[in-house]
Amino acid sequence: MPSRRFFMISTAAALLLAPRFAKASEPDILSYDGAAIGGYDPVAYFSEGEPVKGKAAHAVTWQGAEWHFATAANRETFEANPEAYAPQYGGYCAYAASKGAVAPTAPDAWTVHYGKLYLNFSQTVRGIWSEDIHGNIAKADANWPAPLSK
């Protein structure tokens, strides 16, 4: 039976070698299902401490993407300071960014670290990324082409 370490290394290798991952070249916002970060409310990660699906009725456009919020209050909070709530690296996987690549994320694979939201490809990848958060953030920051703010 494969060890946990083997599984984690295999998952990380698959993440980094899969052909759908492109080299990070533009700070685009990850959008799927018609909205940034799949329609999840970025403010809720901070206020609720969990991923909460947003509603199109509470949408705002920022950085060329449509962001959904669970409540009008969350939308207003985001509009007042979007850089404080938007996930780092355009909502792409923080671990992939640390490796110079982009990958999609899962809404339940997240971390708020020093007041910033980081998303990961999966819970397994989040575990690998969490082993050296500071180092991985430094690498991702160096690899990412531009900050989110305009």
**Which tens digit of pLDDT belongs to each residue from 119-136?**
999 999 999 999 999 999
Residue 8 lies in a domain: no
Residues 52-101 have pLDDT tens digits of: 999 999 999 999 999 999 999 999 999 999 999 999 999 999 999 999 99
Residue 69 lies in a domain: yes
Please, are residues 58 and 70 in contact by the beta-carbon 8 Å criterion? yes
| Whole-angstrom distance, CA of residue 101 vs CA of residue 88 | 14
pTM of the entire structure?
0.81
Q: What percent of the chain has pLDDT over 90?
A: 74
| Whole-angstrom distance, CA of residue 10 vs CA of residue 32 | 26
**Could you give the 3-state DSSP secondary structure of residue 116?**
strand
Q: Report the Cα–Cα distance between both ends of the chain, in Å, rounded.
A: 50
pLDDT of residue 21: 43
Q: What does DSSP assign to residue 91?
A: G
CB-side neighbour CA atoms (13 Å) of 70: 13
Domain of residue 64, residue span:
25-143
Residue 2 lies in a domain: no
Residue 35 lies in a domain: yes
Name the helix (H) or strand (E) containing 56: strand 55-62
pLDDT of residue 25: 46
Q: Which pLDDT band holds residue 10 (cuts at 50, 70, 90)?
A: very low
Residue 59 lies in a domain: yes
Q: How many domains does the chain have?
A: 1
**Could you give the 3-state DSSP secondary structure of residue 1?**
coil
Higher pLDDT, 141 or 149: 141
